[in-house]
Amino acid sequence: MSNNSVAALLLVSGLFTFASCTRDTSEVTAASSEYDLLKETVSTTGTYAFDSDFGDVFTQSTRWESSDADITLSNGQGQLTANSDDTSQALEAWKLFNVQMPYNRSWEISVDVTLPRYWDSHGGQDAQVGAGIFVGRPVDSGQSAKVYECNFAVVSGAERFVQAQLVANRLGDDPIDVQQATISNSTQTARLSIQFSSSDKTLTLFFNNEKVGTGTRIDNKGIDNWKLSDADVMDVGIMGFAENTTITTNPPTLDNFEYRIY
C-alpha cells in the first residue's frame, strides 16, 4: 500500500495513503511453528465460502475504498480488481463484515488468500499487490482510524511477505508497529488468521498456522490504546491493494472467510 519499507533492506516510501504495504523485514521469520489455538470452547462460529450474495455479507467502506479498486464475487471467490490511469498511489479495497467481534471474549477470523505470481503489471520492480483481513475500532463515520491490518503480498512477481500492521491513525500516519515474515515465492495460497485474546487484549497474526511476530496489545499496556470496554465491539473485514500497478488479469482472490468466538 502506500508505504514500502524493506528493513534489513529498510525502505520506506513517501505519501501514506494505504497502511498495508509497509514492508519491514526486521521480522524475517515466523515466530513459532505451533498454532496457538485458544484453549476455550467455541461458542459461536460462522463461515462464508463466497458462494452466495456478496453484498449480504460484506459492505463497502466509502471512507477508505478507492473508486478504482474493488473486491467482488466471481467464480465462488472474492476477486480483487484495480484499474486506474494513476498508479502512483495505492489502489485499495476494504470491506466490512456484517458481524462485529466482542472485546470481552476471545475470537479469531480467518481467510484463504491466493496471490498469482504474475498479474497485469505496469509498475516494474516497485509494483506490488496483496490481500488480507483487518480489525478496526468502530466509529460513527465508518471504518476507524485505529486498525490492525494483516496481508499476504507479492512484489513484482518476486518477493513475497506477510505482515501485521498496527495503525494508530489510518487516515494520515505511518504504522506504529509492523511484524513481518518473508515467504517462499512458491507459496501462492495461504490461510491468514487474526486471533484476539480477551485476557491480555492482544491481537496476533497467523500465517498457515504459524505465528507472525509477538502479537500487539490494544489496551493501556500496549503501544496504542483503543480505549475499549467490555461492552464494546470491533469491526472486522477483508481488504486488498495494488501499488504502482493495475490488476486486470490473474487477480488475487479471497475464499473461506470464517470467524470463531470463544
3-state secondary structure of 235: strand
**Domains of the chain, earliest start first:** 19-261 (2.60.120.200)
Characterize 69-98 residue by residue with b for buried, 16 or more Cβ atoms within 10 angstroms of its Cβ, and e for exposed. bbbebeeebbbbbbeeeebebbbbbbbbbe
DSSP label of 177: E
- Distance (Å, rounded) from C-alpha 221 to C-alpha 170? 21
List, for residues 105-143, the tens digit of each pLDDT value. 999 999 999 998 777 666 677 888 999 999 999 887 667
Please give the model's pTM, rounded to 2 decimal places.
Answer: 0.85
The set of residues, in sequence order, having a beta carbon less than 8 Å from that of 227 and lying 6+ positions away, is none
Tens of pLDDT, residue by residue over 146-191, are: 999 999 999 886 789 999 999 998 877 789 999 999 999 889 999 9
Task: Using alpha carbons only, give the angle 229, 163, 96 rounded to the nearest 5 degrees.
Answer: 50
**CB-based contact 23:4 (threshold 8 Å):** yes
| Three cell numbers, residue 112 | 484463504
Q: Please count the other Cβ atoms lying within 10 Å of the Cβ belonging to residue 118.
A: 11
Q: Which three cell numbers stand for residue 54?
A: 456478496
CA distance to 35, 48, 196, 243, per residue, from 38 (Å):
9, 22, 9, 35
